[in-house]
Amino acid sequence: MRIAEWQGEVERLMSARDPALAPIVAKVERGERLTRDDGLALFHSSDLLTIGRLGDLANRRRNGDRVYFAANQHINPTNVCVLRNTCVFCSFARMPREEGAYTRSLEEVFAEADAAHDNPTREFHIVGGLHPKLRLAYYLEMFRGLKQRHPDVQIKALTAVEVAHLARIEHLSVREVLQAMREAGVTSLPGGGAEVFSPAARATIADKKLTGEEWLAVHREAHGLGIPSNCTMLYGHVETMEDRVDHLLALRALQDETGGFLTYIPLAYHPDHNELGEALGRTGTATSGCDDLKNIAVGRLLLENIPHVKTHWPMVTPFISQIGLTFGCDDLEGTVVFERVYHEAGAGTPMWLAYDQIIELIRGAGKVPVERDALYQVVRTFEDWVPGQTMARPQGPQGPTFEIQHRARAQGRGGRKLPVLSSAVDGAE
């Protein structure tokens, strides 16, 4: 093949296979902000490689070859939740007397956190259910106790839904709850509970939860107090492509206003052990690898004002997450000791990854591993990592592993029964 022919073939391969993406390619190359129509074109397109190339370009402009990760530990103090029968996509929650329900005492939480003494933990990620009897004082004492025992570990705690719940039962404002959390040692908020902001989708999957506007309002209040946060979108259930784009644009608008979001995390729905999965007739993995990668790339392209995009490997597998590092993602989450919420929904991924496994996944993608804390301050850059420096397996209060007790399916449990959702599902494919 002549040089001119070879160059022409390369240009053809690098150009968009889907003509609808050609103007978007030009916009991204010029660094222009994408529109709602652009977002819809990206989600509806099957030209995954072009979408991934654009996401990678947008990420490299902002983050170069750096990929962040955290030595973090997940703590779920309780799975008892007043929304148990209405958040039909959730497999984690239990009613107080339901089999598998638990609530940790503070001493049990502190014992679980003690794994941080023997491991390079930099962040506690604390979320749980909306327990009807756990008051704000329980959480504040927990945060203070953790900071006293682990002064160098940052605390990222309580979703917007949990914050609003505590404000309601304590007859306080959201701002007052956030101020108390900050004074007790909370560094940032996680991004969970957003699901998808579409009122129609929320009416099906979580009709008693905070509305999208209420979720945004909690994060707006946090940002106003100097508490940064993450943001998320749950995809792969009953949402439409329009729902996805509108959700991302709402996040972008708040970021324009406050600048308080640190990272965006697309979260893949898991259908096992919940009512929604039963109504949809789904088991196993609800999303495809292509959709997982597309959500990473489109998130990076539409949310150009949010510094980081994280792939949550417990939901999509470490290997999809590794590929995602070339689709616009610059954060591989972390060691995640021990994750329960998505494993209750049937996630077959490990409960944790060792330190060197994270580093090798990043290096295998041709990227530079950078350990961070909860605020994306650099702890260490691994330019010359020597394999084999494995992090010891943490020992929690129940022994070397935590048992996952999958709850029963919907039949006979008094949960909210859903109609056949074929028309809604069509929009999510």
Its domain, for residue 267, covers 58-383
What band does 391 get if pLDDT is binned at 50, 70 and 90? very low
Residue by residue, DSSP assigns 388-426 as: T-PPPPP-BTTBSS----PPP-STTTTPPP----HHHHH
* Structural domain contains residue 33: no
For 133-157, what is each residue's pLDDT tens digit? Answer: 999 999 999 999 999 999 999 999 9
CB 302 within 8 A of CB 39: yes
CB 316 within 8 A of CB 292: yes
What band does 6 get if pLDDT is binned at 50, 70 and 90? very low
Q: Is the pLDDT score of 260 beyond 50?
A: yes
Task: Report the alpha-carbon distance of residue 3 to residue 21 in Å, rounded.
Answer: 28
* Structural domain contains residue 130: yes
Task: Report the alpha-carbon distance of residue 116 to residue 124 in Å, rounded.
Answer: 9
Q: Tell me the H-state helices in 160-198.
A: 160-170, 174-184
How many CB atoms neighbour CB 347 within 10 A?
A: 24
Mean pLDDT, the chain, whole residue set: 85
> How many helices and strands (H and E) does the chain possess?
17, 11
Distance of alpha carbon 188 from its chain centroid, rounded?
A: 14
Q: Tell me the pairing of strands 308-309 and 331-334.
A: unpaired
DSSP symbol at 306:
S
Instruction: Taking residues 382-405, report their average pLDDT.
Output: 47
Instruction: Taking residues 85-91, report their average pLDDT.
Output: 87
Q: Is the pLDDT score of 400 beyond 70?
A: no
* Structural domain contains residue 138: yes
Residue 317's pLDDT is 87
Residue 411's pLDDT is 39
Read off φ and ψ for residue 387, nearest 5 degrees: -55, 150
DSSP symbol at 62:
H
Q: What is the CATH number of the domain that holds 279?
A: 3.20.20.70
* Structural domain contains residue 429: no
Structure tokens at 123: 């962040």
* Structural domain contains residue 357: yes
Residue 336's pLDDT is 60
Mean pLDDT highest for which of 82-96, 253-267, 309-323? 253-267
| Total length of the chain | 429
* pLDDT higher at 309 or 412: 309
Q: What percent of the chain has pLDDT over 90?
A: 65
* Structural domain contains residue 388: no
Q: What Rg do the C-alpha atoms of the chain give, in angstroms?
A: 21
For 288-343, what is each residue's pLDDT tens digit? Answer: 999 999 999 999 999 999 999 999 888 888 999 999 999 999 999 888 655 444 43
Query: CA 124, 214, 313: angle at the middle one, nearest 5?
Result: 40
Q: Tell me the pairing of strands 229-235 and 66-70.
A: unpaired
For 173-212, what is each residue's pLDDT tens digit? Answer: 999 999 999 999 999 999 999 999 999 999 999 999 999 9
How many CB atoms neighbour CB 385 within 10 A?
A: 17
Q: Tell me the pairing of strands 368-372 and 378-381.
A: antiparallel
For 19-47, what is each residue's pLDDT tens digit? Answer: 999 999 999 999 999 999 999 999 999 99
* pLDDT higher at 63 or 351: 63
* Structural domain contains residue 45: no
Read off φ and ψ for residue 321, nearest 5 degrees: -60, -40
Q: Give the chain's domain count.
A: 1
* Structural domain contains residue 322: yes
Residue 72's pLDDT is 87
For 113-132, what is each residue's pLDDT tens digit? Answer: 987 676 778 999 999 999 99
Q: Which amino acid is at 170?
A: E
Q: Is the pLDDT score of 420 beyond 50?
A: no
What band does 7 get if pLDDT is binned at 50, 70 and 90? very low
CB 54 within 8 A of CB 28: yes
Structure tokens at 347: 């996630």
